[in-house]
Amino acid sequence: MATLKDVKVGESATVARLNGTGALKRRIMDMGLTKGTHVYVKKVAPLGDPIELTVRGYELSIRRDEAENVEVTDVRTGE
């Protein structure tokens, strides 16, 4: 399954599942990335880290290794 780090700039997706355990999973959930959430990839830094997202109406920057733990579905172009 595709992860959030695979979604390209200008594409949107829906969070399907969170991988990881304990503090990492809790941190991702606290940022608003929960199952069913719509996510839009706004920018990626020149070296690929961090990734800037629009989630629930606000801007969020996450590291690539965190994005790797977020499985997504319904990847499509546009917000």
Q: Helices (DSSP H) in the chain: which residue ranges?
A: 22-30, 64-67
pLDDT for 47-73, tens place per residue? 888 999 999 999 999 999 999 999 999
List, in sequence order, every residue forming a beta bridge with 17; answer none if it has no partner: 71
Domain ranges of the chain: 4-77
| Tokens encoding 23 | 């503090």
Burial class (CB in 10 A: 0-12, 13-18, 19+), 1: exposed
Element (DSSP H or E) covering residue 44:
strand 38-44
pLDDT for 21-38, tens place per residue? 889 899 999 999 999 999
List the CATH code of the domain at 4-77. Answer: 2.30.30.90
